Structure formats: C-alpha cells, structure tokens
C-alpha cells in the first residue's frame, strides 16, 4: 500500500462518519489536530475530534445512529475537556465531543470556517476559537502540543483572527498573560517571515 492510499484510509474514515452524521441531520464541526493541519503546519495525530451541536449532543441517539453501522463505541466518558463518545478503530480513534449547552459552544457553531478537501466541504472550528481553546487547555492539562497548536494556527491563519477580540476572550478565561505573550511572538515572527527572514533563535 502506498502512503497516499494509506492516507486515503484516514480520509475515508472521516468522510464516512461525517456522511452518516449529515444524512441524519446532525450538525457538527471539526476540531483538534485537523484544524491545526488545515490552518497551520501539519503534525501527526492518533485521533480525530468532532464536536456535535448542543441541540443534538444526545449520547443515546448518537449510539443508536452509529452502532448499527458497525462503529465500536465507548462511553460517554467525561475527561478534562468535556464529555465524549469514543469510536474505536485499530491503532486509531475518533472523539465525538458532546457540546454542552452554553453560549460559548453555540457561538462556535455560528463561526465555523469551511475548507475543501478532495471536493468535500468541511466545517471547522474557527481558528480564533481554536487558539482560545488551546490556551484554555493549558490550564487543565499538560499536553505538549497545545501551545504549539495555538502558535501554528495563529501564525498561519493570522488574517482570520481578530487579536483584540482574542485578548478579550482570553481575559474572560484567565489566560490573558499567555495569550498576550503568544500574540507578540507570532506578530514578531510573522513580520520577519513575511520578509523572507528566519526569526532569531529558530
């Protein structure tokens, strides 16, 4: 099997699940590493993260939808970042996050950004919301990739992000110090990179 065929397996796995959700009228958005990969420099991952709209985040309903289609479902389980169903595959899993009914989560669905992969339009968590979430994640867990994810997406999706609004949201979540530092680093790096210069220390 060539790397492209193997990569196609991951894509097909994603498209198949999204197709099931869409056919059932379930509203969702894509988050996690796939947002970073769509809007930043890529990294590998062992899972995909899909968020189900608060109005449809019913674990029993989702289980009834997915189990007859052969999905190996675990949960719902509650972790540091919320409640989810886990769809298991060999060496891989998909987290189906059950969005709680809050203005923050509803707002994220109002701001989705769409991007196309191989003829299919996909809804992603907005890069600005992604950066905020990653900064908040650093308060509740020690995952080495959270800050890097935030940096990459802020750097490459800079034009899509309102840094003043991001700072306002960061203050509400008590991560304004980190947000300010990250924005200043990205601003400085970007200024040099846009002029074809490698930033000092890289």
Partner 1 sequence: MRVRSAEELVAAMPEPEEELDLRTQVKRPTAGQYAHWKAKTPGERLWAGFKLMAFARSFKVRTRDSK
Interacting residues toward partner 1 by CB under 8 A: 3-4, 6-11, 33-34, 37-45, 82, 91-92, 100, 102, 104, 115-118, 136, 138-140, 144, 147-148, 151-152, 155-156, 172-178, 181-182, 185, 189, 192-193, 196-199, 201-202
CB-nearer residue toward partner 1: 25 or 198: 198
Task: Give the shortest CB-56-to-partner 1 separation in angstroms.
Answer: 19
Nearer to partner 1, 68 or 202 (CB): 202
Cβ closer to partner 1: 67 or 117?
Answer: 117
In the DSSP assignment, the letter for residue 199 is: P
CA distances from 26 to 19, 111, 190 (A): 10, 17, 38
Tokens for 12, please give them.
């097909």
| Min CB(27)–partner 1 separation in Å | 20
Q: Which is nearer to partner 1, 85 or 183 (CB)?
A: 183
Distance, in Å, from the CA atom of 96 to the CA atom of 60, rounded to the nearest integer, reads: 13
Closest approach of Cβ 65 to partner 1, in Å?
25
Nearest approach, Cβ of residue 165 and partner 1 (Å): 17
Count of C-beta atoms within a 10 Å radius of residue 110: 7
Measured distance CA(118)–CA(111) in Å, rounded: 23
Q: How far is CA 30 from CA 43, 72, 116, 190, 194, in A?
A: 16, 20, 13, 26, 29
């Amino acid at each position: 099997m060539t790397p492209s065929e193997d990569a196609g397996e991951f894509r097909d796995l994603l498209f198949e699940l999204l197709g099931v959700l869409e056919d059932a009228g379930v509203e969702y958005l894509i988050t996690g590493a796939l947002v970073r990969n769509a809007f930043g420099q890529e990294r590998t991952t062992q899972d995909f993260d899909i968020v189900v709209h608060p109005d449809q985040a019913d674990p029993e309903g989702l289980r009834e939808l997915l189990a007859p289609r052969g999905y190996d479902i675990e949960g719902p389980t509650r972790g540091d970042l919320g409640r989810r169903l886990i769809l298991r595959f060999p060496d891989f899993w998909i987290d189906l996050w059950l969005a709680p009914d809050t203005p923050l989560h509803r707002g994220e669905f109002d701001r989705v950004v769409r991007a196309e992969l191989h003829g299919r339009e996909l809804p992603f968590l907005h890069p600005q919301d992604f950066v905020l979430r990653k900064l908040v994640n650093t308060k509740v867990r020690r995952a080495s990739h959270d800050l890097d994810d935030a940096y990459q997406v802020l750097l490459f999706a800079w034009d899509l992000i309102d840094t003043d609004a991001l700072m306002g949201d960061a203050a509400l979540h008590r991560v304004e110090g980190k947000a300010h530092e990250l924005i200043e680093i990205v601003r400085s790096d970007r200024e040099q990179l846009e002029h074809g210069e490698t930033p000092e220390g890289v």
